[in-house]
Amino acid sequence: MSLASLLDRDRNRAAWWLYIGFLGLGVAFLGYSFLGTFVFGVFVYYASRPVFGRVRSRLGRDGASAAVTLLGFVVPVLLIVGYVLAAGLRDVASLSGVGPDEYVQLLSPFVNVEALGEGQRDALATLLNQPGRLRSLPFDRLRSLLTSGLAVLGSAINALVHVTLAFGLAFFLLRDGDSVAEWFRRNVAPPDSAGHAYAKAVDDDLETVFFGNVVFVFTMAVLAAVIYYGFNLVAPDPLGIPFPVLLALLTGITSLIPLVVSKLVYVPLVIYLGTVAFRTGGVALVFPVGLLVVSFLVLDILPQTFLQPYISGRQIHTGIMMFAYLLGPLLFGWYGFFLLPLFAVLVLQAVRIVLTDLLHGDRLTSAVDAAPSLGGDPPGESTGADGGE
């Protein structure tokens, strides 16, 4: 091949790389602009993938299986989770003594309440706190409420668009995931390479984080809510559990702590109810004791023995994940709950598989060289395995 041909080929390749670089910048800008939608879609994908595998084994069609999984599993679960979070938000508002005006401000992450007038805010607060008074409002107040309702509707439609886009991303990842994985293995990172091991470890850990841990937390929260509400139905008034939904959410979060599980919530709660029962006298002490027994069996023994091994599967470092779940929303807002755990998994597996070889100047392999107990190994790849770069 002549020198002129080589130069022409190099110029052609350089032009294409420059063009692809600009396209990459455009993709990065779109990803940044819709970061919350993207990470929520990734969460929905990983949270539904185990169920999708079972549905596909029955139906045999990727597209139909993805649609059935999202509509039959993910949507009902998200509705339940949304209700529990809304009830927990209401408990937080009651616990902090939030008044009507401040209660409206709790909607600010979802509704632009700053754009509403004072009368519209009052009407919205009336609707939230005393829906029955809606019929007695004068026409002007009703018109104001209608205007604020349209503003809320616009925000709701915007949120619905983002949720639809996230579900669309999850649908295509479920339907075409095998094809994307095959393209990645063939053109980017062949088997036994460091890139393949890293991608496989990240993929498996994200399934554990987003399906195992999140489903486990909300399963525990729902179980705790059932127990606390059931206790309030049978216990006398002085022994009622205050803010049951909020305590149920805290129970679900603390269930990630090894060994401790949910004791951080239900043990102090039983002590408090036992103190109240002791002051009440009579047979009231039976109720705290009964709550302790039921909580120990359902919120302690059951999750450690059956639920956690079945739902969570492989374990990654729970301390890191707890900080990621808690700090993510504080740093990035609502989507930080999904973004920071994803970022933590990317960092953790890079340290375990790649960083040691880079620091020592060794050839990159698929071996797990650091922190073997902090994350899961790629299936078929054991610590110390050799592989090409």
pLDDT at 93 over 70: no
Torsion angle in degrees (nearest 10) through CA of 125, 129, 134, 139: -20
pLDDT at 383 over 50: no
The proportion of the chain whose per-residue pLDDT surpasses 90, expressed as a percent, equals 11
pLDDT per position as a tens digit, 355-369 = 888 888 888 888 887
- The mean per-residue pLDDT over the stretch 107-120 comes to 50
Q: Kindly report the three-state secondary structure assignment for every residue of the chain.
A: CCHHHHHHHHHHHHHHHHHHHHHHHHHHHHHHHCHHHHHHHHHHHHHHHHHHHHHHHHHCCHHHHHHHHHHHHHHHHHHHHHHHHHHHHHHHHHHCCCCHHHHHHCCCCCCCHHHCCHHHHHHHHHHHHCHHHHHHCCHHHHHHHHHHHHHHHHHHHHHHHHHHHHHHHHHHHHHHHHHHHHHHHHHCCCCCCHHHHHHHHHHHHHHHHHHHHHHHHHHHHHHHHHHHHHHHHHCCHHHCCCCHHHHHHHHHHHCCCCCCCCHHHHHHHHHHHHHHHHHHCHHHHHHHHHHHHHHHHHHHHHHHHHHHHHHCCCCCCHHHHHHHHHHHHHHHCCCHHHHHHHHHHHHHHHHHHHHHHHHHCCCCCCCCCCCCCCCCCCCCCCCCCCCCC
Overall pTM > 0.85: no
Q: Distance between CA 221 and CA 217 in Å, rounded?
A: 6
pLDDT at 264 over 90: no
pLDDT band at 385 (very low <50, low <70, confident <90, very high): very low
Q: Distance between CA 84 and CA 218 in Å, rounded?
A: 9
pLDDT at 292 over 80: yes
The pLDDT value recorded for residue 368 is 80
312 and 216 Cβ atoms separated by less than 8 Å: yes
**Listed range (156-170, 221-235, 254-268) with the worst mean pLDDT:** 254-268
The pLDDT value recorded for residue 382 is 45
The pLDDT value recorded for residue 386 is 39
The pLDDT value recorded for residue 278 is 85
- The mean per-residue pLDDT over the stretch 271-276 comes to 90
pLDDT band at 174 (very low <50, low <70, confident <90, very high): very high
pLDDT at 97 over 80: no
pLDDT per position as a tens digit, 134-164 = 555 555 555 555 666 666 666 677 778 888 8
- The mean per-residue pLDDT over the stretch 278-306 comes to 84
pLDDT per position as a tens digit, 328-381 = 888 888 888 889 989 999 998 888 888 888 888 888 888 887 777 676 665 555
pLDDT band at 285 (very low <50, low <70, confident <90, very high): confident
Average pLDDT, rounded, for the chain: 78
Name, in order, each residue with C-beta under 8 angstroms of 48's C-beta and a sequence gap of 6 or more: 69, 70, 73, 74, 170, 174, 211
The pLDDT value recorded for residue 21 is 92
Q: Tell me which of 316 and 143 has the higher pLDDT.
A: 316
pLDDT band at 100 (very low <50, low <70, confident <90, very high): very low
The proportion of the chain whose per-residue pLDDT surpasses 70, expressed as a percent, equals 73
pLDDT band at 387 (very low <50, low <70, confident <90, very high): very low
pLDDT band at 8 (very low <50, low <70, confident <90, very high): low
Name, in order, each residue with C-beta under 8 angstroms of 34's C-beta and a sequence gap of 6 or more: 162, 165
The pLDDT value recorded for residue 155 is 67
